[in-house]
Structure 1
Amino acid sequence: MDTRVQFYHNTPDRLALACELVARAHGKGRKVAVRLPDTTSAQQLDRLLWTSEPLSFVPHVMLDSPLAAETPVVLGTADADADWPHGDTLFNLAPDLPPAFDRFRLVIEIVGQSEAEKVPARARWSAYRQRGLETKAFDAERRVAL
């Protein structure tokens, strides 16, 4: 299986976009792992997934939950054990290259607008390309392919 990689650049609100894209992926029947930089951002995304769409429900748990293997959306932090329960789609909001990213069918990188986020994203882009992976880029604010 060749992993495909998509970068969403120029994102004004990374958690809001992650919430939207995770909900969309779940709606299409995808199993999703979301790798966040820290516990605070994981808690914020957890709240967003509960409150973003009043009539929709995105079942999700933290990676350390006993229900992680049975839940379609799993949230984890960059410092947590990277033993994700499924390998369909990985959203990476952490600044580093996800360990074992190549066991996922699709990796989605969400990059903000600050230089502090762009610089490590460029390194991840290069790392994926050096491994011969197909990469695509999108401007998240203008909603167009680059």
Structure 2
Amino acid sequence: MTRIDFHLNVSDHLLYTCRLIRKAYGSGLKIVCYSTRPEVLENLDKLLWTFSEEDFLPHVVTGHPGVADTPIVLTDKADDIAHYDLLINLDEQWPPFFARFERLVEIVGTDEDNKALARQRYKFYKERGYPLNTFDRANS
């Protein structure tokens, strides 16, 4: 069953996502970042190339021929995604394919609209019996 972690009070979603990706990739995990908003994936793609001068984070956007061989995939769908360990949700809704992953990370911002949407996702997962963890990142 997928373990779901909510990271709360994140001030910069994309920068925080890059840090999560770096840590997970360093642990040998295969990672998918999901959003139905193209601008989110485009901005994350750009940021991953410039995020760290010391770390190379090999990634592609779905549709790229190297998807099957790349440990970090940015996607708006699950059609061409093989087995990956970690799903990072950057969307406002729950990803319909999340149960295929060992772990899901939900990143929750500081504004009330974002928190309200996250509460809906939390309720959705809880009602279905998924193990939930919360981490307050207000001071990190």
Q: TM-score range by the shorter chain?
A: over 0.9
Letter in 2 for 1:102: A
Question: How many angstroms apart in 2 are the aligned matches of 1:75 and 1:58?
Answer: 12
1:108 aligns with 2:105: yes
Q: Which ranges of structure 1 fall in alignment gaps of 5 or more residues?
A: none
Q: CA deviation at 1:19?
A: 0.5
Question: How many angstroms apart in 2 are the aligned matches of 1:19 and 1:43?
Answer: 13
Q: What corresponds to 1:82 in structure 2? A: 78
Q: What SS does the corresponding residue of 2:9 show, helix, strand or coil?
A: strand
Question: How many angstroms apart in 2 are the aligned matches of 1:49 and 1:87?
Answer: 19
The two structures have a TM-score, normalised by structure 1, of: 0.91
Q: CA deviation at 1:85?
A: 2.4
The Cα offsets for residues 46-76 of structure 1, whole Å up to 9 and x where unpaired, read as 1111111101100000011111111000001
Q: What corresponds to 2:51 in structure 1? A: 52
Q: What SS does the corresponding residue of 1:11 show, helix, strand or coil?
A: coil
Q: CA deviation at 1:23?
A: 0.9
Distance 1:123 1:90, change over 3 A: same
Letter in 1 for 2:111: S
Question: How many angstroms apart in 1 are the aligned matches of 2:118 and 2:36?
Answer: 13
Question: How many angstroms apart in 1 are the aligned matches of 2:112 and 2:78?
Answer: 27
Q: CA deviation at 1:91?
A: 0.1
More strand by share: 1
Q: Tell me if structure 1 keeps the 8 A contact 2:29–2:84.
A: no
Q: What corresponds to 1:39 in structure 2? A: 38
The Cα offsets for residues 69-109 of structure 1, whole Å up to 9 and x where unpaired, read as 110000013xxx32222231000010001012111000000
Q: CA deviation at 1:44?
A: 1.0
Question: How many angstroms apart in 1 are the aligned matches of 2:31 and 2:38?
Answer: 18
1:120 aligns with 2:117: yes
Amino-acid identity (%)? 39
Question: How many angstroms apart in 2 are the aligned matches of 1:82 and 1:95?
Answer: 16
Q: What SS does the corresponding residue of 1:34 show, helix, strand or coil?
A: strand
State the aligned residue count.
139
After TM superposition, which residue ranges in structure 1, 4 or more long, deviate above 3 angstroms?
A: none
> RMSD between aligned alpha carbons?
1.1
Between 81-90 and 123-132, the greater mean CA deviation after superposition: 81-90
Q: What SS does the corresponding residue of 1:112 show, helix, strand or coil?
A: coil
Question: How many angstroms apart in 2 are the aligned matches of 1:48 and 1:140?
Answer: 21
Question: How many angstroms apart in 1 are the aligned matches of 2:85 and 2:129?
Answer: 19
Between 89-98 and 46-55, the greater mean CA deviation after superposition: 46-55
Q: What corresponds to 1:13 in structure 2? A: 12
